[in-house]
Amino acid sequence: MAKQPIIFTVDDDEQVLAAIRRDIRQQYRADYRVMSTTSAKEALEALKELKQMGEDVALFLSDQRMPEMSGVEFLEQARKLYPTAKRVLLTAYSDIEAAIKAINDVQLDYYLNKPWDPPEEKLYPTLNDLLDEWQINHIPAFRGIRIVGYQYSPKSHAVKDFLSGNLIPYQWLDVMNEPEAKELLELAELTDQHLPAVFFEDGSHLKSPSSVELGGKIGLSSKAAEKMYDVTIIGAGPAGMAAAVYGGSEGLKTLLIEKHAPGGQAGTSSRIENYLGFPKGLSGADLTQRAITQAKRFGIEFLSPQSVVGVETQDNYKKVILENGEQIHTKAVIITTGVQYRKLEADGIDNYTGAGIYYGAATTEAHACRDKDVYIVGGGNSAGQAAMYLSNFAKNVYIVIRKPDLSSSMSQYLIDQLAGTENVSIVPHSAIEAAHGETHLECVSLKNLETEKVEKKPAGALLIFIGARPYTSWTGDSIFKNERGFILTGRDVQKEEEFKKQWKRTREPFLLETSTPGIFAAGDVRAGAMNRVASAVGEGAMAIKFVHEYLGEV
């Protein structure tokens, strides 16, 4: 429920203040909150805090004769904080000249003579008109998290990406273009050195925060609550979330750990249209929110942001080692850490990563692409979905691929959609050779691989969707992987020379079991996975079946 706007009254005479507060509350308490103070200086400090909290002030009612400053002086200062609030001056007959002068000096809306009895005749009609006018023209302040920073700052992008990935709404304020951004910085006494700054609804703020700091502030938990779990799932992509739902629903004490934000690569997708049961499609964020809510309903515990740096086997349980040194004891482990996009090897890429160049969908930056040319590198479904989304903002979207067409890498429904979108073009037999700009990306060098001709093209953004690099460097040698780093499971494990030395069970590994008994892998991180959302969900659910069988042994 939205908070009511405020009527703020100031009068150094406590009896007069009590009377005006009583009369205003009697008439307006259903629609407005009433705040009051006997000190103009205290009032200004309170207004600064209210501004930082995103509160709305509809009307100021101030006495003219006060010891710290006059009512006109107070209203002049208050106007800087709330320029659209209505301003009323309480005056004695001897102050009428000052009140008339204030109409021009501080755009005073009305002056009210004391006493105002009866209020039904001398107070309410005036305030009713002023408040009605304020309501008509008022644009409600954003209530929630506000981020102040520079558009092309990698740190600002990281903060936006983290909050967006964790399904936390926020308002972005570019310090170069938004007057409100500068106001917030001045009120909090912050400088450019503190950016990005994150302001919260309670009036507090964080300066250039880490993911852990942000996570703690928005209510995420990064510390395990239990001493022992039946199963710990590492990675909250589609496979991990499915494993969590099935683990929790089947009575297993389940822990899900995510280093950044739930959903994985699928979570950043603007539209998934081939997922069973959703004929109109759904966004990755919607799928993620549904899955996490479902898993929590079954009592699973979710740690985020938290990174795992190793897993050790000890007797009949495992130790999951976290980046902060903490250890979690668990009977079984499912690795669902997915894949990361491969780095684009081209001149200048590192210089502008997070400042016009982004790995993945980067839907948080779509507004910055408005009326600009955007380049996408990659020919998979994620690239196609990003192109369709950005076509709503960008002047033109160019999909750069080395192959002659998309038929071997993208679903046909997406190919058809792209073909039917006027401002989306496929650039075949091509590659990005270099990125250029001063403080951020401004141009790309586009090379035709057949003619070797290189052209410099203006670019508002470059999004990279190439390759699939598994996040498995932390798993160590005890978890067998193929030459590309994907985790081997089931029969593939048995083909390795070291298998017989390490495997101490009389049975063969289960289908999704790794080279270490009781440690499983599912989804894109597993060698041989299909790399589709539905298949990852299926593998995550299947992994719980094998966890049950393993737990039956120990």
**Tens digit of each residue's pLDDT (9 = 90 or more) over 265-289:** 888 887 888 888 988 888 888 999 9
**Structural tokens at position 355:** 């400042």
Residues sharing a CB contact under 8 Å with residue 296, sequence separation 6 or more, in sequence order: 302
Per-residue pLDDT of 55-69, as tens digits, reads 999 999 999 889 999
Residue 553 buriedness (CB in 10 A; 0-12 / 13-18 / 19+): exposed
- Cα–Cα nearest to 238, from 220, 218, 256: 256
Residue 184 buriedness (CB in 10 A; 0-12 / 13-18 / 19+): buried
Per-residue pLDDT of 460-469, as tens digits, reads 999 999 988 9
Q: Does domain 145-217 have CATH number 3.40.30.10?
A: yes
pLDDT band of 53, cuts 50, 70, 90? confident
Q: Which CATH superfamily is domain 349-464 in?
A: FAD/NAD(P)-binding domain (3.50.50.60)
Alpha-helix runs per DSSP H in 233-283? 238-249, 264-267
Side-chain half-sphere CA neighbours of 314 within 13 A: 10
Task: Give DSSP secondary structure letters for 157-221.
Answer: HHHHHHHHHTT--EEEEETTT-HHHHHHHHHTT--GGG-SEEE-TTS-EEES--HHHHHHHTT--
R_g (Cα) of the chain, nearest Å:
30
Mean pLDDT of 106-123: 86
Mean pLDDT of 85-100: 79
pLDDT at residue number 111: 85
- Cα–Cα nearest to 324, from 210, 433, 456: 210
Per-residue pLDDT of 126-174, as tens digits, reads 999 999 999 988 877 777 899 999 999 999 999 999 999 998 999 999 9
Q: Which CATH superfamily is domain 228-339+470-553 in?
A: FAD/NAD(P)-binding domain (3.50.50.60)
Topology of domain 6-137 in CATH is Rossmann fold (3.40.50)
Per-residue pLDDT of 161-178, as tens digits, reads 999 999 899 999 999 989
From CA 295, how far away is CA 298, in angstroms rounded? 5
Same topology between domain 6-137 and domain 228-339+470-553: no
- Residue with more model confidence, 367 or 9: 9
Residue 93 pLDDT exceeds 70: no
Mean pLDDT of 245-257: 98
Q: 54 in helix, strand or coil?
A: coil
- Domain assignments of the chain as residue spans, ordered by start: 6-137, 145-217, 228-339+470-553, 349-464
For residues 541 and 246, the answer to whether their CB atoms sit within 8 Å is: yes
| Local structure of residue 384 (DSSP, 8 states) | H
Residue 512 pLDDT exceeds 70: yes
Report the largest interatomic distance among the alpha carbons of the chain, rounded to a whole angstrom.
101
Task: Give DSSP secondary structure letters for 337-353.
Answer: --EEPPPP-SBTHHHHB
* Sheet with 430-436: strands ordered across: 430-436, 443-448, 454-458
pLDDT at residue number 2: 61
For residues 342 and 427, the answer to whether their CB atoms sit within 8 Å is: no
Peptide bond into 509 cis (omega under 30): no
Mean pLDDT of 242-263: 97
Residue 34 pLDDT exceeds 60: yes
Full-model pTM: 0.81
